[in-house]
Structures are given as C-alpha cells and as structure tokens.
Amino acid sequence: MVVDVRDVHYAIDKRPILSGIDLRVRRGLITAIMGPSGTGKTTLLKLITAQVTADRGQVVVLGRDVAQLKGSEIYALRKRMGMLFQNGALLTDMDVFENVAFPVREHTDLPDPLIRKLVFIKLQAVGLRGAAGLMPGELSGGMARRVALARAIVMDPEILIYDEPFVGLDPISLGVIMRLIKQMNEALGITSIVVSHDVQELSTIAHNSYLLSSGRVAAAGSPQELRKSDSEAVRQFITGSPDGPVPFHYPAPDYNTQLLTADEP
C-alpha cells in the first residue's frame, strides 16, 4: 500500500471538511479521486503531502505516518513524490529546459552534462524536446501542462499526483495528457493519484476510483462499478445532473426574509 488514509477527520474553523475518510492507493495503479467542488479533494492532497495534519485518524504514505514526521523527514518524503499542478505552475522567467532542470539542480549535485541528458530524456517522453528553448509565455496550455509533467517526473518519483490535469485543455491536448498519464504509469512503474471532475476521461485510464461527497467517500471501486452504484449522490455526479443531494445554493438565511431586511443596518 503506497497511501493509506484511515478514518481521517479535518476541519477549518470548526467547519468539517473531511468526516471519516478511508482511502487506499495501491502501488503501480492509477487511482482517481473525484467529487463536486468543496468535497475535500484538495484538502486530501494536502494531507497526503503533509501540508496539513489530520485532526483525527491516520495518513500513511510510503510506510510513514505523516503526522509523526519532522521537518527534514517531510522534506525527504516529498522528494519521493511528483506533483502536476492544475495551472502547470511553470517559472515564467526560466525557459522550458531550466523549468524541468530546476528540481534536479535544487536537490542534487549532478554535473551539467548529466542534467542535460536527464532533462532531454524527460522532454522526449512528453514530446517536447524541441521546445527546450521556449519560454512559458510561448507555450499553449497543453504544452505547458506537458512541460510541467516532465518536471514532475524528472526526479523519478514513486508517487505522481495530478491536480485537475484536464482543466482548460482542448480535446487533442486532453487526449495527449490522458495518454501520457497512462504511459508514465506503465513505463516508469509510478503510482498515480489523479484528482479530477472529468468522469468520462478518468473512466478510461483509472484502475480504482473514489467519489467524495460531503467530506466522505460516497462510493469506491472501478469506474464501471461506480456507474452501477445506487447512491443518488454518485448518480448525480456521474450524470452531471443539477438536481440531487448536492445542492446548487450555498447555505443561507431565508431568501424572502433577507430581502425584506436588506435595507436595515
């Protein structure tokens, strides 16, 4: 087991975000974490990467209880992970080559000739070796996401985390990123965690899926098993229906009363 989340509770200002999450990520597989906005997906990633600590429960990553780790141990654990951020998060004052080389220069003492070979190998893997000299501002959205992926894998991580990797991509770029996620997982033996709203896309590449709702796991299993679920919350999310357990309106006072008293101080 690469990641083992056991009965985790987490709240912000006494407002529950996660309310007893149980989730397991198995080595070498692609695990999808899905759910409507505000269900705790990003918080779960922060717990796995030791950015925050659970109020209750346990998060075990690569055999280590993250709540028990000290600063240097957290730093070492994070070096075993790669992260593809939603917006790519490329450094705008560095060209493509230096963006990919940045983690290697930061964390190792490898000589420049070896760094050059390593960077070109990773850029070749995402089809952008020829773009090494371009600046981030010269890249399309899909190209920027692929450069970010090359940077995420340049240190050969054991876990690769994708945070909404399909957002804002055209159909061709989306297909390229999907293929790369699958190829990286198979060719490099990486364990992948993909957080996304894109049910259709994830169903073609994920081995296991978790659907979060109201801070809990509403359903778990293969994408095909989720489609057969009897849960109303699961069906609403899978079909994209506006009507169901997930409300459109954020909790608020009575509408008519608030309008009638709007002019009062």
Classify burial at 238, counting beta carbons within 10 Å of its beta carbon; exposed 0-12, middle 13-18, buried 19 or more.
buried
At 48, the amino acid letter reads I
Whether residue 173 is predicted with pLDDT greater than 80 in this model: the reply is no
Residue pair 49/75 in contact (Cβ under 8 Å)? The answer is no
Q: Distance between CA 45 and CA 65 in Å, rounded?
A: 15
Under a CB-based contact definition with an 8 Å cutoff, are residues 120 and 132 in contact? yes
Cα–Cα distance for residue pair 85/94, rounded to 1 Å: 17
Taking residues 139-152, report their average pLDDT: 88
- Could you read off the pLDDT of 67-107 as tens digits, one per residue? 999 888 998 898 888 888 877 688 889 999 999 999 999 88
- 164 versus 265: the higher-pLDDT residue is 164
- In the structure, what pLDDT confidence band is assigned to residue 110 with cuts at 50, 70 and 90? very high
**Taking residues 40-51, what's their average pLDDT?**
88
Q: Are strands 81-84 and 30-34 parallel, antiparallel or unpaired?
A: unpaired
User: Quick one: pLDDT at residue 178?
Assistant: 83
**Per-residue pLDDT at 263:** 62
Handedness of CA 4, 85, 220, 214 (dihedral sign): positive
Each domain of the chain, given as residue ranges in start order, spans 1-80+190-265
- The predicted pLDDT at position 24 comes to 93
Pairing of strands 81-84, 159-163: parallel
pLDDT averaged over the chain?
A: 84
| Contacts of 194 by beta carbon, 8 Å cutoff, 6+ apart | 30, 31, 32, 33, 162, 165, 181, 202, 205, 206
pLDDT band at 239 (very low <50, low <70, confident <90, very high): low
Would the pLDDT of 22 be above 70?
yes
For residue 2, is pLDDT > 70? yes
Give the mean model confidence (pLDDT) for residues 145-157.
89
Q: Give the per-residue pLDDT at 235.
A: 66
Hey, what's the torsion of the CAs at 47, 10, 197, 86, to 10 degrees? -40
The residue among 188, 121, 193 whose CA lies nearest residue 151 is 121
pTM for the model stands at 0.81
CATH number assigned to the domain covering 1-80+190-265: 3.40.50.300
Residue 95 structure tokens: 């060209």
Local confidence band at 15 (pLDDT 50, 70, 90 cut-offs): confident
